[in-house]
Every structure is written in structure tokens, then in C-alpha cells.
């Protein structure tokens, strides 16, 4: 009898909570309000920035410049932006000589960058591309807050 009552209460709770789930149209707005950089498990090196190899730093600086130029031109060609950024991340990956904890920390910020660049290159949804663009700017800022030559 107690287990039946417990099961009914669980089902009622689940049914009620499902009604309060956001609609699919609300999810994009929610994504835009959450800073992707705030979700990173990125740490400093005992209060200092991690040291990176020059090629890594150069690649991320180039990514920042590409995005700034994109913004100045008020472009909406997100696929082209994604392609240009992808070339820079390929350069970083190919030329990375980092090891150990600095390398692991770089991956904390680099992997989400790669995900956002994929969105830019593959989506036909301008709102999703715009969110990816904003997320990339935050991720690049997070990189500069945690890494240096």
C-alpha cells in the first residue's frame, strides 16, 4: 500500500514538472543568457596565467582579429567566419607543443571553441550562428584571461 502511494506521488510529481519545462522556442533564449565561458572548468596556475607556446598564442590572437574584422564589417556570413576560424584552430592544433597541466587547461577552452566553430560552419539558423559567434568571443576572452606567452 505504501509503495503504491509512493509510486502515485512520484508519477504526479513527474507529470507536474513536465508541464513546467521550457518550450523549444525558449531554449535559444536561455542559451543566450548563459555565458559559455562561465561554465568552463578553467583554472589559473596558482594565480598566474598558464604559459603557452608562441604558435598557440598567435593562432588565438588571429582568431580574435578575424572576429573583430567580421564585426566591423557587420558581416552575416557565419559559414565563412567559421571556415577562417577553423584554419586558425588547425594551425594551433598542428603546432601545439604544450604538455602537462597547461596543455590540459588549454583543452578546456579549445574544445568548446571547436564546437562553436562547427556551429558556424554547419548551421543555417542565423540565431544559432549568432549565439556561437558570441560564445566564441567569450571563449577567446577566457583564453586571454588564463593564458599568456
Report pLDDT digits (tens) over 67-83: 999 999 999 999 999 99
Report pLDDT digits (tens) over 82-134: 999 999 999 999 999 999 999 999 999 999 999 999 999 999 999 999 999 99
**Total domains present in the chain:** 1
**Residue 30 pLDDT exceeds 90:** no
In a domain, 66, yes or no: yes
Q: Could you identify the residue written with the cell 561554465?
A: 39
State how far the Cα of 139 lies from the Cα of 95, in Å rounded to an integer: 20
Q: Is 132 exposed, middle or buried (0-12, 13-18, 19+ CB in 10 A)?
A: buried
In a domain, 47, yes or no: no
Helical residues (DSSP H) of the chain, grouped into ranges: 2-19, 24-33, 54-72, 78-95, 100-122, 126-146
In a domain, 45, yes or no: no
In a domain, 19, yes or no: no
| CATH code of the domain in which 115 resides | 1.20.120
In a domain, 28, yes or no: no
- The whole domain housing 62 covers 54-149
In a domain, 42, yes or no: no
Q: For residue 78, what pLDDT is reported? A: 97
Amino acid at each position: 500500500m505504501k509503495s503504491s502511494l509512493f509510486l502515485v506521488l512520484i508519477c504526479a510529481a513527474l507529470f507536474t514538472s513536465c508541464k513546467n519545462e521550457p518550450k523549444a522556442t525558449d531554449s535559444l533564449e536561455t542559451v543566450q543568457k548563459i555565458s559559455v565561458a562561465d561554465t568552463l572548468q578553467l583554472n589559473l596556475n596558482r594565480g598566474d596565467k598558464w604559459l603557452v607556446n608562441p604558435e598557440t598564442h598567435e593562432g588565438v590572437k588571429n582568431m580574435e582579429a578575424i572576429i573583430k574584422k567580421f564585426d566591423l564589417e557587420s558581416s552575416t556570413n557565419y559559414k565563412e567566419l567559421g571556415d577562417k576560424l577553423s584554419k586558425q584552430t588547425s594551425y594551433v592544433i598542428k603546432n601545439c607543443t604544450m604538455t602537462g597541466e597547461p596543455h590540459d587547461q588549454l583543452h578546456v577552452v579549445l574544445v568548446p571553441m571547436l564546437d562553436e566553430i562547427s556551429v558556424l560552419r554547419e548551421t543555417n539558423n542565423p540565431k544559432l550562428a549568432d549565439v556561437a559567434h558570441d560564445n566564441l568571443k567569450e571563449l577567446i576572452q577566457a583564453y586571454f584571461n588564463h593564458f599568456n606567452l
